[in-house]
Each structure stands twice: as C-alpha cells, then as structure tokens.
Structure 1
C-alpha cells in the first residue's frame, strides 16, 4: 500500500509542480489574492462577483475568472497531495512500530510539505516576493525528489555498489542541478527571461553591462531594489546572464557524469535518460530566448527540470556509495598490505 500510494503521490507531485509553473508563467499567481480561499470563499464560482469587479477595475491586472480557477485548481491538487503524503507517513509509522522499518523519509517529507504550504500562503500574502516564490519552487522539487526516493525504496529497486568517487560525482550533480534550478527560478520570479533577447550573445554582447548587487539581493519586493527603487535593467541582465553561464557549467558536468555512468551496464538506461534530458533542457532554454518565451516551451522547460531532479535522485539511490571513512580505511589497508 505504501508503494502504491508513493507512486501515485509521485505522479501527482510532478503534475502539481508543472501546473504551478503554468500558473506562475501565465501570471495567475495572484488570481485569488487571499489564502487559502478565494475572496474568502471555497471556489472562484462562489466569489464570482468580487472577481469580476476586480477585473473590471483593472482589466490588465492579475485577477480574472480564468486566472482564479488556475490558482485554485493548483491549491486543490496541492492539498490533496499533502493528504496523500500524510497517509504515507502514517502507514510508515505503523510499519516502523510493527517491523522496525525506518520512517525517516516519510516524516521528513511531512515537514517539507508543511513548510511548502506556508510558502504557498506567503507567495500570495506577500505579493509574489521573488525569494518566497523561488523557495516555493524549490520546495515543490524537494517534495518530488523525496517521493522519488521513497517510491524506489518501497519498490525494492536494486542498488549498485558504487565506488566513493562515483557516489561523490552523483551528489555533486544533484547539488549543481538544484543550484541551477534556483537560478532559473530567480530568472522566472524576477521576470528576467527576456532580459537577453538574443542568443548566443546577450544584448549583442558577450559581456553586457550588469548589476549583480541588486540582481541577487534576496530581501526585496518584486521589481524593486532593497531600497525600494525600480530594479534597473542591468540587474535583470545579470540575473539572466548568470543563469546562462550556470547552464553551460551544469550542463557540461551532467553530460560528463552521464558519460561516466555509461561504463556500468546496469546504469546505462539512466545515463542515456540523463544525457537526453540535459540536451532537451538546453534546447528548451535556447528556444525560450529565440521564440520570446512561448508559454508551452516555458512550461516544458520547468517540466524537464523536474524530471532531471527525479532522474538524479534515482541515480543517487541506485548508487549505494561507500562512505568516505570506509573508503579511506580501505585505501590505507591496501597501502599497508602493499
């Protein structure tokens, strides 16, 4: 039962993450400007009059019936996902008491979900602050990654006795991917995706004028500096340019790591999947710039990022690495024997 629930929760989490990206990219994040309901009601249908009045007052604003439904459907599904995760944790605790099987991962997941719910509330009540929205994105991916780990463990997926260096490469790959996704989230939440409208150069220059100080100041309002001034274009350029450079570094590392995995027959499927996903992700990122951020391509870019997280969590699970201490002890013993 835990395995089946974990698998269904994993599929739902993937859908919720992609739907969240669609809500954000279609400018529907404030479709219902309060939380958890919509103008104090359970659904946009019950708040129809207030939504229509807000839309009439500002037809280009964030509130409309379609945007409200997008936002609320995302909340409904996220709430249902949270309920499923609570059930998985409860069943895991029962098994722990009965059989002694650890329930650490499900309990950790419950903590992540609670924090993620708070971030979802703050995303609305704090009016889309970039730091909160980016953390909300990363929280969704943390849920997805943890569910991937739980499902693989419950499914009895075989683990490969990897050396310490390969396990270290796998952990480095996951860490770099998370950092690059955080950069991508920062681009999206600051609306900097088209700050460099050309490719491969940026504003017809390999090194355009940039303002890194304001670009990566965390505690500020959307579109504002820490002092409350309008965020300069050079800061938006710095955000976009940093994400491009990160894509080169992380993409090269992941492709190198996939090539290293190809040496092991039992890991070749994962290696090929990783290489394909990396190349697809790079292509989607370039397409976002070349075609001026079409909604479908932008959402697909987020979806492939989520799939990459699942792949790398799966690879880390498969690589039952040797602990650093045990690795050094083995090397020392081999030297003594020699």
Structure 2
C-alpha cells in the first residue's frame, strides 16, 4: 500500500475514533465497561445470562448495561485498529530512505500515550482533566497525521504575494485560538456544562455575579466516587459554559478576518478555495453550537459539533502549512 493511501485510511479511522469517543461520552457510556482493556474481565461485552451473572459478581458496585458497554468496546476496537495503522505507517517510514522519520515516530508515541489516557479515563472514573486530555490527544493525532499526509504531496503555490507572507503569523494566531477553543469545549463536555446556560446570546439571569473562574478551571478536583455527570456546582459549570461562548465569539471573529484577507489578497485559487471552505465550516459550526443550546444538546448535533471542530482544525492546519511554506 502506498503511504498516501495508508495515511488517508488512517485519517478516516482517526476521525471515526474522535466521533465514536464523542458519541460514547455524550451517551453517558464512558464507564460502560468499568475495567480496561476488556469489559467486565472479558474481551467482549457480556450478553449471555451466565456472562452477565459473572460480570455482576465481579463488579457488584456496577449495573451491567450491555448497550453502553458495546459503545465503549466499539470505540476501543476502532482505536486498536488505528494503533495498528499507525504502527504500519512507522514501519513503512523506516523502510523508505526518503520518508520522514521524526513525525511518524512522534505520532506513534502519541498513540501510545492516547492508549494510556484511555485507560486512565476508565480507572480514574472520568476525571475531567483526563477526559479532556484524551479528547485533545485525538485532535492532536489527526492534525499530525494530516500534516504528515501534506508532506507526502507536492504543494505548488504561485509566487509574488508579499501580503500573504505577512498573513502567515496571523494564521498561526488563529490556529492557536481555535486550539484553545477546542480545549474549552473539551472542558465544557467533560464537566457536563453543555446545558449550564440554555438561553442566547450568553446566559440566563444575572450570570456575571455567578462567575467562579477559580473553582471552574481548577483541574484537580477530588471525589470519593465517579466523576460521571459532573461534580461541580452550577456557578462553576455556568462559568465554563460562558467562557466557551466568549471563546467562540473571539475565535469566529478572528477566523472571519482571516477568510477576508485570504480572499482579498491571494492570487492562489487553492488558498481562495481553502478560505471559502473555512468560512463554510465556521458557519456550520456556529449553527451547530446554537442548535445545541436551543434544542438542548441532541446527540446527533452534539457529535456533529465535534466533527465540525475537527474539520475546522484540519482546514486551519492546511492553511498554515500552505502559508508558511510560501513564506
């Protein structure tokens, strides 16, 4: 298999892992299997009566829910396949003298760390900082695989565009803003704060006087049991949600200016098309975010919001790659 074809397949699997992880989390199935890497001590979900009885005896503090357990195990199966694909990429990279070595090696290390985060997500009972780190690891992985794919393909851009050279640092700034917004989104989701505010544009009532940033963004809250469904009070969750909304406004404004500058100043049709793609994805992501609030977080829209963030990230990675190569 050619490296480019393998990378395309791996990118698809990575996106599937991200979306399946979001679906599992939003379905409250993050602890569908209370152990790792198996499920109730088995390599598959217990469904037969004797398997269910054995699982209940082994984990008496848990209620066996096969539907949620299957969501968790399907996520693990896809993630395991992704690990094999990354190992194959690393193998091919070291077999070919002209292939990059450092980036595939770092990606392989990252996938191992992701596996550890997946284990800690279960063993630490959905501790928010671990869940958020697992989410960010997935977005980092797909970005690095996309960058590796871009490095395997020639990128030809017309010269003589000095204004675009000045735009490259701003594009990097926009990428940094988007990363911070994704982190805020992960923190919102892992603390079950997505429905802390149910009105637009910011939040209901006297939200300003209820802000509690020190408690809301402290990463090491402790609890005796599970973190499932969140342990923070309303003020903390509302603060997280409000921060995510303000972050969305700031990020969207910055990205709109980037789109305007690329369309106005670039002579490259490739960059112009990238700007229009970025604009379309941004509008879609805003619409999905508003729909989450208005419709009270329907599962399909919430998962699509995760997909929109991933596609926005990949588009900005490409734009930065193109602009910095040109600069």
CA distance in 1, matches of 2:287, 2:254: 17
Give the C-alpha shift of residue 159 in structure 1: 5.1
Kindly tell me the number of residue pairs found equivalent between the two proteins: 313
Contact 1:51 1:64 in 2 (8 A): no
Change (3 A) 1:190 1:317: same
Give the C-alpha shift of residue 11 in structure 1: 0.9
Contact 1:130 1:221 in 2 (8 A): no
The runs of 5 or more residues in structure 1 that have no matched partner are 324-338
CA distance in 2, matches of 1:288, 1:222: 29
Contact 1:190 1:223 in 2 (8 A): no
> Aligned runs of 1:1-338 on 2, under 5 Å?
1-45=2-46, 48-50=51-53, 53=56, 63-96=64-97, 99=98, 101-158=99-156, 163-205=164-206, 207-221=208-222, 231-262=232-263, 263-264=265-266, 265-266=268-269, 267-321=271-325
CA distance in 2, matches of 1:223, 1:203: 32
Change (3 A) 1:286 1:51: farther
CA distance in 2, matches of 1:191, 1:215: 12
2:210 is paired with a residue of what secondary structure? coil
Deviation string, structure 1 residues 160-182 (Cα, Å, up to 9, x no partner): 66744221112111111110000
Runs of 4+ in 1 over 6 A off after TM superposition: none
Contact 2:174 2:254 in 1 (8 A): yes
1:36 is paired with a residue of what secondary structure? coil
CA distance in 2, matches of 1:187, 1:51: 36
CA distance in 2, matches of 1:85, 1:50: 38
Contact 2:4 2:152 in 1 (8 A): yes
CA distance in 2, matches of 1:284, 1:83: 33
Change (3 A) 1:216 1:271: same
Give the C-alpha shift of residue 157 in structure 1: 3.4
CA distance in 1, matches of 2:224, 2:278: 35
CA distance in 1, matches of 2:292, 2:223: 22
Give the C-alpha shift of residue 308 in structure 1: 0.8
TM-score, normalising length: structure 1 = 0.86
Deviation string, structure 1 residues 112-171 (Cα, Å, up to 9, x no partner): 111111111100000000000001000000110011111122132335667442211121
CA distance in 2, matches of 1:219, 1:191: 16
Contact 1:251 1:278 in 2 (8 A): yes
Change (3 A) 1:132 1:207: same
Change (3 A) 1:6 1:51: farther
Contact 1:160 1:320 in 2 (8 A): no
Contact 1:13 1:144 in 2 (8 A): yes
- 1:335 matched residue in structure 2: none
Give the C-alpha shift of residue 103 in structure 1: 1.6
